[in-house]
Structure 1
């Protein structure tokens, strides 16, 4: 297998060289950025604000082919690792690393950097991550051993076919051993195609071409500049006027897309489902949602099609916690989802059940429940919160919005300083392990509403170790059904959104089942005519 992968790596290298002759080098790609990144440390952050802007600085061991819209096991290609191989029982994954790769500060990349990165991710390092959003991804790692400077082996407690896709995610860059984490938060050092030139908070992020990049001919661009624009309408007007070459990826709603097309005949726009869904989190440990009747009343009260129509222009989707087909590889088909109580098409019957549950909890027309819906101060959060408030009025709940500034949002969630909260969850890879372990395992930092069911969590590990894809998919559907019935979270709508660019931008491929993996920008080039 290693020989085959090495040949594939050499062929890919030849393709890079040939393509480099055909493309134009130079120019600065200018994008608007929808919000200020809290830090530049991808390992410590959990949002597109950081990964989109700083992914071009780094490399991974492996990566998803940026020329392919759909992430899959088959689209994984070499990056810092030239090749890889599994042992017979699929508990050891070994990598042969590239020679001659240097960090931006001139230090040589070795297997020690891989060891250090996974010591951080598995909480074995003295220099601890301030937060570790992906810690639950890698809980199955037993050890990471470097035999030489250019060979490294990851040993697992049990088989885990999702490991390689996790390593290919934009959220799993390799960090340098010699650079303190404090510096990585403000001025990160990578091996990637671009070097950080400036990180001016609330203003802009500037990246410049790495002249010593180890991929021949890459990158084509001289640099990338992100300008923070708080108002999305102002940002889109600036894009239409030509002040930006590209929108922030996946940030143009269906309503805004129609406006962009009306204002600009030049704009090239692509709409995708990027494994991102709006959902509802409940504080299950405090009144009123410590009462299972009220939790289940919400399950029956929600009109998901109304969310699709009002927020996604009818182009969104309805699903469980795994991205639904056809874009998703693991989500339940519509007929299976409709069999789950609360997800069937009979909205009137569902609402009657919701009102009966509310009355059983002591509420009714003369005694209405007063709630505040926590929501971020940006439209992808505020708009669904307003729709939800309207729907809840029909089951004796009067809800107002508790608008939280983006800078304080994560802290509010981590402290569970909310009763009910609108959340938009982007899944980094299209795989049940990422969704189940990150969002619902008892000790995950990303389990913001502290849902914990040890019985269901044991099933996470059973499906994770299953090597037969069909059997694993069936196990994933069974787990998702139990999570939905237990009101672990309440999915509202699966989002579709667009990325737009001007005709002189070439080489960018919008991904259909992730919003975090396709932003290396090393293959993007520009030709103004």
Structure 2
């Protein structure tokens, strides 16, 4: 499944810890086998096929995504290392050709070997225009996949043009071709289960296989006896229980109902620091929170199609107040995010293109007056008969986001812009956003460490360009960056696209959010991975003792 890349090339700077606190963990001579970990999941996946636009959610990746491995995996230090692959290397420059060898021992849970056919199946689904996939970047640059060994374990990937972030592409999951070939519609594959449609049995090549899913409640993953990694999973089960309200999520870990949580930043987390029996890890990751402005007519707010109106909104949003009142409580050095691709901590890459948008009711008034808008008796601007009243949605139950929303609403109203709350639970919010049924949406993109996914998010026709942004220049710049093998030139292309977006404001960046992993000290082997891979990428190493 997809793991979008929205971060950087110089990656080490991203992993500076905000704080690590809590009680000290017990020690043991060797891992203990058996038992289970109950993990409190902040969101329920909207559906289970992470390649589809409506299912491309971080918690889809962090739960069911663990069942399907990629050729590569991204480690907490942001390095890309082989996972299913034994090796992968460029063997020819023109056309760019990568020789791949899949590990001999890698098999699906039914014993069928993982081969080039599984990579080829995903590629074919990704480039099929009938499929509503979240991203085609990289896959649309591949012109052929050819086996080079009789067992299908060795093959070549031949690109039609250079593709710089090929390792990030190889992080995406492989799907079992022998199970899914013949399915008539990929858009309806694995929406509610992860079973082989030919026999109804769960199938995967990860260390755990989903054996139960009760919607609205939980997912149970059971150790895969066919797991091909260096050691069998230590745990018997990992159970994800959905705790989509911030208060209940944190109470669940405080009261011992769950063993671990991975919440977005919440003020209550500060109170957990130092609580006996708990450990907290926090890092500056690649989670970029933003406000998306929907330019599509189906959003129902035609003023959002005008760059000048979006600029006025950017001046009406007091991002600094959000940072000062909320995020500095986690990290006194936290700053406003001023770039849509690179985080503040990425020295040498990050350029603050959006820094001109400082809260200014005077700037809002100047722009609105220039375009013939007038204020009503209620203090809200109106332009050609359309009031500056915009629906502003985010995920219900996320208390911090709801608090940010309140701050933004109050400040914007003083500038003559009215934001009306339009929230939904995540399982409803993200499918609605991916269908373009919103006006302003606050959420985050989580990255792998490479900006190649920007083409899908901001490029014309991009699978995740739900806002309908339509810039030929930005599209071409991001596509050129994907094909540029020189890191310096590539960064310049990405920043040129970002500078253009700062002028047109399809999206307003807010903050590079820190990650927080909270777990009981009895859990061993668990650790934060602040990339889109998330902390569940090594569940086979977890044990209780």
TM-score (norm 1): 0.84
Contact 2:423/2:429, CA 8 A, preserved across alignment? no
2:31 is aligned, of 19, 23, 29, to 23
CA distance, structure 1, for counterparts of residue 394 and residue 544 of structure 2: 41
CA distance, structure 2, for counterparts of residue 515 and residue 274 of structure 1: 9
Partner of 2:538: 521
After TM superposition, the structure 1 stretch with the greater mean CA deviation from structure 2, 236-245 or 136-145, is: 136-145
Contact 1:141/1:157, CA 8 A, preserved across alignment? yes
Residue 374 (1) aligns with residue 393 (2):
yes
Residue 460 (1) aligns with residue 465 (2):
no
In structure 1, the residue corresponding to 2:304 is in which secondary structure? coil
Contact 1:84/1:95, CA 8 A, preserved across alignment? yes
User: 1:297 deviation in Å?
Assistant: 0.9
1:282 is aligned, of 276, 293, 304, to 293
Contact 2:528/2:534, CA 8 A, preserved across alignment? no
Partner of 1:238: 252
In structure 2, the residue corresponding to 1:320 is in which secondary structure? coil
Which residues of structure 2 form unaligned runs of 5+?
A: 1-27, 181-185, 196-202, 381-387
| Residues 351, 140 of structure 1: alpha-carbon distance in 2 compared, 3 angstrom cutoff | farther
Matches within 5 A, 1:385-396: 385-396=405-416
Partner of 1:177: 177
Partner of 2:109: 104
CA distance, structure 2, for counterparts of residue 162 and residue 388 of structure 1: 36
Superposed CA deviations along residues 201-246 of structure 1, whole A, max 9, x for unmatched, are 1111111111221123232222201112232212221211222111
Residue 356 (1) aligns with residue 370 (2):
no
Contact 1:268/1:502, CA 8 A, preserved across alignment? yes
1:319 is aligned, of 317, 326, 338, to 338
Superposed CA deviations along residues 375-413 of structure 1, whole A, max 9, x for unmatched, are 332325433322221121132112221223433323432
Matches within 5 A, 1:195-234: 195-234=209-248
| Residues 289, 101 of structure 1: alpha-carbon distance in 2 compared, 3 angstrom cutoff | closer
Superposed CA deviations along residues 397-453 of structure 1, whole A, max 9, x for unmatched, are 12221223433323432443333x12212233222212x212101111210101011
Matches within 5 A, 1:41-60: 41-44=49-52, 45-60=55-70
Partner of 1:259: 271
Superposed CA deviations along residues 162-207 of structure 1, whole A, max 9, x for unmatched, are 1112212xxx111001223656331242111112211111111111
Residue 77 (1) aligns with residue 91 (2):
no
Residue 293 (1) aligns with residue 294 (2):
no
CA distance, structure 2, for counterparts of residue 515 and residue 63 of structure 1: 11
Residue 150 (1) aligns with residue 153 (2):
yes
Contact 2:145/2:158, CA 8 A, preserved across alignment? yes
Contact 1:280/1:492, CA 8 A, preserved across alignment? yes
CA distance, structure 2, for counterparts of residue 388 and residue 431 of structure 1: 30
CA distance, structure 2, for counterparts of residue 329 and residue 140 of structure 1: 30
2:163 is aligned, of 160, 165, 174, to 160
TM-score (norm 2): 0.82
In structure 1, the residue corresponding to 2:178 is in which secondary structure? coil
Which residues of structure 1 form unaligned runs of 5+?
A: 1-19
In structure 1, the residue corresponding to 2:374 is in which secondary structure? coil
| Residues 174, 490 of structure 1: alpha-carbon distance in 2 compared, 3 angstrom cutoff | same
CA RMSD of aligned residues (A): 2.5
After TM superposition, the structure 1 stretch with the greater mean CA deviation from structure 2, 93-102 or 449-458, is: 93-102
Contact 1:377/1:403, CA 8 A, preserved across alignment? yes
Partner of 2:279: 268
Contact 2:433/2:441, CA 8 A, preserved across alignment? no
User: 1:294 deviation in Å?
Assistant: 1.6
Residue 308 (1) aligns with residue 329 (2):
no
Higher helix share: 1
Superposed CA deviations along residues 495-518 of structure 1, whole A, max 9, x for unmatched, are 123110111112223123x23354
**Which protein has greater RCO, CA pairs closer than 8 Å, 6+ apart?**
2
CA distance, structure 2, for counterparts of residue 356 and residue 227 of structure 1: 50
